Structure 1
Amino acid sequence: MKLGILFSGQGAQNAGMGLDLYQAVPAYKATVDQASNILGYDLQEVANDDVKIKQTAYAQPAILTMSNAILNALGDTLPTPVAGLGLSLGEYSALSASGALDFDQAVAIIKDRGMYMQTVGEANPGKMVAVMGNDQQLIVDVLTTLQADGKQVYPANYNTFAQLVIGGVASDVDIAVAALTEAGIQRMVELPVSGAFHTPLLTDAATQLTKRLSDETFKETNYPVYSNTTSEPFTKEAMFETLTEQIISPTYFAQAMKKMLDLGVDTFLEVGPSDTLIKFAKKIAPKDVKRYAITDLESFNAFKEILLAEGENV
């Protein structure tokens, strides 16, 4: 098994996430309790709260913790990954799992990052829309024309080679949707988010995060972790710059996943509250690449059985 681990991003959260794992798997519970001590509140209780878990400030620590808690619970049954990749917030989960950040350090950073993004997002409300279509250059060209006319709308997430999320000022995104429809785009879906993430509307949050990360110490990853911002592996030397640029830069998830496949990854595992990234993988990876997601106790036990069987066959 040449394993590539995918770490869920914001938007994957749901009320009750991880509760069955918390109740049944001691190593999972220990990780969540560790995070609760750092955060100053009961994280599992927050994860069970339908109102709080939708808020950026709470969702980000909850998702990061769940992803790391799943890997901690798998323990030695999990082979060393060939590479890791997280979507936006998920990059911090990936960096923590790979040793570049200590878990306590990652939770403390994400507590502040989530707060910055929620506050700035509320002060600069925006909209994000997923645009489906194979001609992504057409989408970029339409946005470039609108930007030249003073509109604040930008490419934000290259999720697959046929899905590009755009974001910006709500009224300008509406204008872009109309222009894209006129250009022949037939399918677009508005996303349930509170701000235009990965666009210049989050500049104030990036400024705050830059100051917050200035005294942090980073280490080398134990295996390659790909950056959404550069679609290249993180390096210790560039980690600060890459993470501070990330909030206002487009994510190149599809391009990074393609490079993981070039490394020989033959199995993808997503860890977190949903299987969204595995669905992206279905659009990007060849059909013979295996895909799994651990989102709850049932899927945890099922994948652990697969790992144990692999171990017996080695």
Structure 2
Amino acid sequence: MKIGLLFSGQGAQQVGMGADLYANVPEYQQVIDRASQVLGYDLAQLTAEDEQKLAQTQYVQPAILAMSTGIITALGDTLPKPIAGLGLSLGEYSALTAAGVMDYEQAVAIIKDRGAYMQAVGNANPGKMVAIMGDDQALIEGVLEKLQSQGKRVYAANYNTFAQLVIGGIAEDVDEAVTALTEAGIKRTVALPVSGAFHTPLLQEAADQLGERIADETFHEMTFPIYSNTTSDVFDIDQLHDVLTRQLMSPTYFAQALQKMLDAGVDTLIEVGPSSTLIKFAKKIAPKTVKRYAITDLESFNEVKALLTSEEGV
């Protein structure tokens, strides 16, 4: 059994996420309460009740980090050492924490500030993001390059699968790109419910702020490899500050990073967090022989834990 861990990113959140885990798994509850101490507010109460705040970047990012870390902590020794880990954007911090690169409280404090920077920049520079469905991603890139040459601010943002590329930028420029892509043969596009054009140059100011914020942070060697969205390769600790800073305004290459994990021998994928979005992406990338599980609540936690502890394994 060669496990690859996947860590949910922003957008996976929902009111009530983790509530049953918090009520029934003491190890999980302790992780959430430790986050509350760092954040200065009751995270369990916020995720259980406050839909308005949970929709805001500055609140949802610590919530997802804490939930993912809580699940990994609660699995404890029943989880074999993973072959590799991969998170989507925010999820990279959960992955790096699981691999011992960051202390948990350190990660919560950084994410608290990262979310605030992104929220503020998104409010000041509203953007739009749209998922473009189609396996000819070179065509999409070509249309964007043509528009950029005309001064339009629209960019490739998230390579989620080899047939889903999210674009982002100034709203009117994104709308123009969607029109051009439709005329070029793209048949399906989906606007995303976000406040900013994340992973595009519109987040330059937030990236600058994050760079200053983490400049003096000390990170540790990975206990297992974590793949970067920004480079699609395993993180180099010596370049971690730079890559995490660039991540905010650079495209994410989740599909390419996941493919490299699979090429490294991963045969079982387990996503931890509020949803199974990354497992759904993986279904489009990984062969059917790769087993896929998502731990999103108490029921799925117990099911996967039982599988991990069974004689047959996962």
2:128 and 2:170 in contact (8 A); partners too:
yes
Q: Are 2:94 and 1:93 equivalent residues in the alignment?
A: yes
TM-score (norm 2): 0.99
User: How many angstroms does 1:35 deviate by?
Assistant: 0.5
CA distance, structure 1, for counterparts of residue 237 and residue 119 of structure 2: 28
Shift of 1:313: 6.4
Matched with 2:205 is 204
User: What letter matches 1:14 in structure 2?
Assistant: Q
- Give the secondary-structure state (helix, strand or coil) at the position aligned to 2:5: strand
Q: In 2, distance between residues paired with 1:149 and 1:238? A: 34
Q: Which amino acid aligns with 1:220?
A: E
Tell me what 1:122 maps to.
123
Residue 41 of structure 2 corresponds to 41
Q: 1:98 to 1:267 in 2, by over 3 A?
A: same
- State how far apart, in whole Å, the 1-side matches of 2:44 and 2:121 are: 26
1:40-84 CA deviation, whole Å, 9 max, x = no partner? 100011112111111000000000000000010010000000000
Identity %: 68
Specify every segment of 5 or more residues in structure 2 that has no aligned partner in the other structure, as ranges. none
Q: Which runs of structure 2 are paired with 1:211-222 in the superposition (5 Å)?
A: 211-222=212-223
* TM-score, structure 1 as length reference: 0.99
Change (3 A) 1:179 1:216: same
Residue identity in the other structure for 1:120 = V
The answer to whether the Cα contact below 8 Å between 2:307 and 2:313 also exists between their aligned partners in 1 is no
How far off is 1:235 after superposition?
1.5
Supply the distance in 1 between the matched residues of 2:277 and 2:21 (Cα, whole angstroms): 20
Aligned residue for 1:238, secondary structure, equals: helix
Encode CA deviations 1:146-166: one digit per residue, 9 max, x unaligned: 000010000000000000000
Q: Which runs of 5+ in 1 are unaligned?
A: none
Q: CA separation of 1:171/1:298 partners in 2, compared to 1, >3 Å: closer, same or farther?
A: same
SS in 2 for 1:61: helix
Show structure 1 runs of 4+ deviating over 2 A: none
After TM superposition, list the pairs within 5 Å mapping 1:45-84 onto structure 2: 45-48=45-48, 49-84=50-85
The aligned counterpart of 1:298 is 299
What residue number does 2:6 align with? 6
Question: Which secondary structure does the structure 1 equivalent of 2:237 belong to?
Answer: coil
**Alignment size in residue pairs:** 313
Alpha-carbon RMSD: 0.9
Q: Is the 8 A contact 2:221 2:237 kept in 1?
A: yes
Task: State whether residues 259 and 286 of structure 2, in contact with CA within 8 Å, keep that contact through their aligned partners in structure 1.
Answer: yes
Q: Distance in 1 between matches of 2:165 and 2:309?
A: 38
**Deviations 1:224-282 (Å, cap 9, x if unpaired)?**
00000000101210100100000000000000000000111000000000000000000
2:22 maps to 22
